[in-house]
A and B are shown apart, each in its own frame.
Chain A
């Protein structure tokens, strides 16, 4: 079942912060975050594994709450280059037998 992302879209001024959420009705083994710019392929950001870990990459970080079957992506002091569509992909089994199921995406627009 497809994870639900919220919000569907957000418009920010450069320097503002954003949070993107990803929720699943199923128990998750891992959550993957990707960013896609218009007309381009999705680009990997980070993977979070079962265990509630939090990861960061420059000013982009994420958390994974396995009890709530939820992950959040945090973008701090957003830059123009952060604009794009953010997808979460979820893995249920952890055994490698399933592919990723992606949410419908969150459109992020950063204005100068």
Chain B
């Protein structure tokens, strides 16, 4: 199995630009999670989906952030407009069922730098 796939691996953009991060979960997994990792705040859950439906988006920092999961094999996290404080590593993870107690498999992450 290829594991969770994220793209791009690195993104450098200027403040005010739109940024789209992409994730392909492990085939057959029903749950998908987006995390953000910074030195200051550690690993934070932004949003998670179960069977393509957003279950908990309370971690999304503000309206500039949006996430979609149009089908079982693809999700996007969009930041519009981006700000320097959005610079972080964004991880996508998937698990086989909707229960949080299942193992979450993380993708390699996207390192975002907003100048």
A interface, CB within 8 angstroms of B: 2, 29-30, 32, 34, 40-44, 47, 49, 87, 89, 91, 94, 96-105
- Check B14 for interface membership: any CB of A closer than 8 A: no
B69-101 vs A, Cβ < 8 Å mask (1 yes, 0 no): 000000000000000000000010000001111
Identify 5 residue pairs between A and B in the complex whose beta-carbon atoms are under 8 Å apart, listed by A's number: A32-B104, A41-B106, A96-B50, A96-B98, A105-B42
Q: Is chain B's binding surface mostly helix, strand, loop or mixed?
A: strand
Known contacts A30-B100, A41-B91; A102 and B43 CB within 8 A of each other: yes
User: Which chain A residue lies CB-closest to B40?
Assistant: A104
Known contacts A87-B43, A97-B56, A102-B44; A42 and B91 CB within 8 A of each other: yes
The residues in B between 41 and 82 inclusive whose CB is less than 8 angstroms from any CB of A are 42-45, 48, 50, 55-56, 59
